[in-house]
Chain A
Amino acid sequence: MADLISLKEIKRHYDVGGELVRALDGIDLTINHNEYISIMGPSGSGKSTLMNMIGCLDTPTEGVYEFEGELVHEMDDNQLASIRNRKIGFVFQTFNLLPKATALRNVEVPLIYANMAKNDRIEKAKKALIAVGLEERMHHKPNELSGGQRQRVAIARALVNDPSIILADEPTGNLDSKSGIEIMKILDKLHHAGNTIILVTHEEYIAEHADRTINLFDGKIKEDRQTKKRKRVVT
Chain B
Amino acid sequence: MISLFWENLRISLGSIFGNKSRSILTALGIVIGVLSVTLMGTLISGLDRTFEKSMSFLARDVLIISRMDWFGGDMDWWELRNRPRIKEDYVEQLREKSQFVAAVAPMAERGGSIIRGDKRIDTRFFGTTPEYMATNESADVITGRYFTDGENRSGARVMVIGGDVADALFPDEDPIDKYVKIGSHKFRVVGILKKQGKFMGMFSLDNQAVLPFGTYQRLFSRRGWMNVRVKVNTDNYDEAKEEIYGVMRQLRGLKPLEKDDFAINQSATMEAQYKAIKLAIGGTGLFITALSLIVGGIGIMNIMFVSVKERTKEIGVRKALGATQSMILGQFLMEAVLICLIAGLVGMGLAGGLSLLINQFFPSSMPVGLAIGSIILSVVIGIVSGLVPSYQAARLDPIDALRYE
Contacts and interface: CB of A to CB of B under 8 A. Distances in A.
Nearest to B7: A112
Interface residues of B, number: 22
A76 B86 CA distance: 87
Interface string A82-111: 101110001010001010100000000110
B367 interface: no
Interface in A93-149: 96, 98, 100, 109-110, 112-118, 121
Contact of B1 (A98, A115, A121, A161): A115
B308 to A, nearest CB: 16
B322 A110 contact: yes
B4 interface: yes
B3 A116 contact: yes
Contacts of B313: 96
A231 to B, nearest CB: 30
B320 A90 contact: yes
A118 B322 contact: no
Contacts of B314: 98
B231 interface: no
Nearest to B318: A109
B219 interface: no
A121 B3 CA distance: 10
A81 B3 contact: no
Interface string B319-357: 111111101000000000000000000000000000000
B317 interface: yes
A78 interface: yes
Contact of B321 (A52, A110, A118): A110
Nearest to B320: A90
Nearest to B403: A48
A77 interface: yes
B224 interface: no
B399 A57 contact: yes
Nearest to B4: A112
Contacts of B320: 55, 57, 84, 90, 96
Interface residues of A, number: 28
Main secondary structure of the interface of B (DSSP, over half): helix
Contact of A98 (B317, B322, B327, B399): B317
A1 to B, nearest CB: 28
A78 B322 CA distance: 9
A77 B323 CA distance: 10
Nearest to B398: A57
A113 B322 contact: yes
A113 B399 contact: no
Nearest to A160: B321
B402 interface: yes
Given A57-B398, A96-B313, A100-B18, A115 B322 contact: no
B111 interface: no
Contacts of B283: none
B321 A157 contact: yes
A114 B399 CA distance: 21
B317 A113 contact: no
A77 B3 CA distance: 22
Contacts of B323: 81, 85, 113
Contacts of A116: 3
A90 B317 CA distance: 9
Interface in B38-75: none
B246 interface: no
A37 B154 CA distance: 121
Interface string B352-390: 000000000000000000000000000000000000000
A77 B1 contact: no
B324 A82 contact: yes
Interface in B298-319: 313-314, 316-319
B144 interface: no
A96 B324 CA distance: 18
A77 B313 CA distance: 18
Interface centre among A92, A109, A113 (most CB of B within 10 A): A113
A55 B319 CA distance: 11
Contacts of A52: 399
A175 to B, nearest CB: 19
Contacts of B322: 81-82, 84-86, 110, 113-114, 161
4 A-B pairs with the lowest CB-CB distances in the bound complex, closest first: A85-B322, A113-B322, A81-B324, A110-B321
7 contacts: A58-B399, A84-B322, A85-B323, A90-B320, A100-B14, A110-B322, A112-B3
Interface of B: 1, 3-4, 7, 14, 18, 313-314, 316-325, 327, 398-399, 402
Given A81-B327, A96-B402, A157-B321, 14 more contacts: A57-B319, A57-B320, A57-B402, A77-B325, A81-B322, A82-B324, A84-B319, A84-B321, A96-B317, A109-B321, A113-B4, A113-B318, A113-B322, A118-B3
